[in-house]
Structure 1
Amino acid sequence: MQIDLSGKNALVTASTAGIGHAIAMGLAAAGANVVINGRHPDTVQQVVDKLRHHLHGASLEGVAADLSTADGVAELVEAVPSVDILVNNAGIFGLKPFFETGDAEWEQYFQTNVMSGVRLSRHYMQGMLHRNWGRVVFISSESALNVPADMIHYGVSKTAQLSVARGLAKLAAGSGVTVNSVLPGPTLSDGFKAMVHEAAEREGKSYEQIGMEFVKAHRSSSIIQRLATTEEVANMVVYVCSMQASATTGAALRVDGGVVDTI
């Protein structure tokens, strides 16, 4: 299968690191013009320069904006008025006992993980529908289905994304616009590395070893029995954004290594 996204304009939110970075790289490699987004201008520009060097001839630009606020989203859409592909990857996560998670944190997770995608989709999907072609992808999580007891606030925000994506897919019924969710499982991302860095240093283990131990201890239903790579998640997203995926919409597509125990 040859995926060619030449001439398509793509925005990947929170794409300076981790899964978002891998998605941006995959879309650019497939020929799309890609907008890199992050909160810090220097970091955004560094990533743009790095990808231009790595992907010779790739078309990339960067826009710094904090998408956890309505003002930040407004800054982004002013800089980038129209796209053909929107990947709502911006999000935060963290362990926190339910009884210690206050209203402010619930609101922070909702604004960042849910409303950023709602606001961007509300703006960009109108143009997609007018042009009768577009792709919207929400990067959710297996935690949307397998809500973890130690971060319920996060799981709820990821479940909400599934509802938004499914509703938007129905809104685009009969058009050339598709809307899907992709659900990564435990992934060897920059966030995971930061979380386990001290343990890896202390125990003299690689991130892969620490990841395998984490999966076996905390996601024992995993079938692959390891962390996925960011590239493995990105491969699914690039396919969903392709011309070939035109009959896939309203779906929650898992790249969870089989963690969610269902057929």
Structure 2
Amino acid sequence: MDLGLQNKTAFVSGSTKGIGKAIAIELAKEGVHVLINGRDDDEVERTVREIKSAYPATFPQNAAADIVDIRQREALFEKYPQIDILVNNMGIYEMMQYEDVDDEVWETYFRTNVLAANGLSKFYLPKMLEKDFGRIIFIASEEAIMPSGQMPQYCMTKSMLLSLSKSLSKLTIGKDVTVNTIMPGPTLTEKVQQIIEGMYANEEMTFSEKEKDFMTTNLPQSEIQRFIRPMEIGRLAAFVCSPYASAFKGSPIRMDGGMVPTIF
């Protein structure tokens, strides 16, 4: 399906791996010129070359920067002052007990998962409103609305993104600019796969068998009983960025594999 995104420019934070990379690839498939972001310049450059090789009609570019650092964000804005699509994907997570989460950890998660995304949005949203086209997507999690208790510092930030997205959407009234949030469920990123492989390091099992056993034992509430693939999130994000999704405004869009047991 042609999503009508040819020659748009998209900045995807944290796009050298995982969900961010999958979103960048799916956008490139639609003819979008993607700005690849990460802190490691070599990783960013490899991803740029990979996408350029696969989609030679597009012009992916290196947007390496630590977007938590205000000065590096400002340098990024000078280099890329205009974009059509902003995907706030970059984030950190770790299993932690509440009693181990001190103020420094709370602040680190807030600055990384919320303030960095807000800083990008605050710069690019007015420009999108001025030209009457733009898409901003925040990548949250099912943990935003169904905290497991295993990552309180992470869940807090993802819930904040839902509120921020709704607040920013209120500024787009009457404009062809949308601000939405995608809430993936458990997704098979590189990091997650490494964790699963490590858990079953002494077992003679295929990865499919490991995945099935893990889901049955640890995530029985999942209705698909497998990890969501990053490509699935990528395709959803590409659609939400398209002109066909212009009626999504301030929406929390779930792709959680049935993890959330409630209607709302």
Please report the TM-score for the alignment, with normalisation by the length of structure 2: 0.96
Q: Secondary structure at the match of 2:56?
A: coil
Q: 1:247 corresponds to which residue?
A: 247
1:93 Cα shift?
0.5
Q: Secondary structure at the match of 1:119?
A: helix
Q: 2:14 corresponds to which residue?
A: 14
Spell out, residue by residue over 1:167-190, the C-alpha distance to the aligned partner (whole angstroms, 9 max, x if none). 111111111100000000001111
Cα pair distance change 1:206/1:106, threshold 3 Å = farther
Q: Secondary structure at the match of 2:213?
A: helix
Q: Are the equivalent residues in 1 in contact too, given 2:20–2:89 (CA < 8 A)?
A: yes
Q: Secondary structure at the match of 2:7?
A: coil
Q: Are the equivalent residues in 2 in contact too, given 1:69–1:112 (CA < 8 A)?
A: no
* Cα separation, 1, equivalents of 2:202 and 2:54: 33
* Cα separation, 1, equivalents of 2:72 and 2:206: 37
Count of matched residue positions in the alignment of Structure 1 and Structure 2:
263
One-letter amino acid matched to 1:50: E
**Identical amino acids, percent of aligned pairs:** 37
Matched, 1:145 2:145: yes
Q: Secondary structure at the match of 2:58?
A: coil
One-letter amino acid matched to 1:17: K
Q: Are the equivalent residues in 1 in contact too, given 2:31–2:57 (CA < 8 A)?
A: no
Q: Which runs of 5+ in 1 are unaligned?
A: none
Query: Once structures 1 and 2 are overlaid, which stretch shifts more, 136-145 or 57-66?
Result: 57-66
Q: Are the equivalent residues in 2 in contact too, given 1:208–1:227 (CA < 8 A)?
A: no
One-letter amino acid matched to 2:255: V
1:76 Cα shift?
1.9
One-letter amino acid matched to 2:125: M
* Cα separation, 1, equivalents of 2:255 and 2:155: 16
The Cα RMSD (Å) is 1.3
Spell out, residue by residue over 1:118-161, the C-alpha distance to the aligned partner (whole angstroms, 9 max, x if none). 00000000100000110000000001011121111101110000
Spell out, residue by residue over 1:18-66, the C-alpha distance to the aligned partner (whole angstroms, 9 max, x if none). 0000000000110111100000111100111111112232220011111
Q: Are the equivalent residues in 2 in contact too, given 1:133–1:175 (CA < 8 A)?
A: yes
Spell out, residue by residue over 1:204-247, the C-alpha distance to the aligned partner (whole angstroms, 9 max, x if none). 33444333333333332211111010001111100000010011
Q: Are the equivalent residues in 2 in contact too, given 1:24–1:34 (CA < 8 A)?
A: yes
One-letter amino acid matched to 1:186: P
Q: Which runs of 5+ in 2 are unaligned?
A: none
Cα pair distance change 1:218/1:29, threshold 3 Å = same
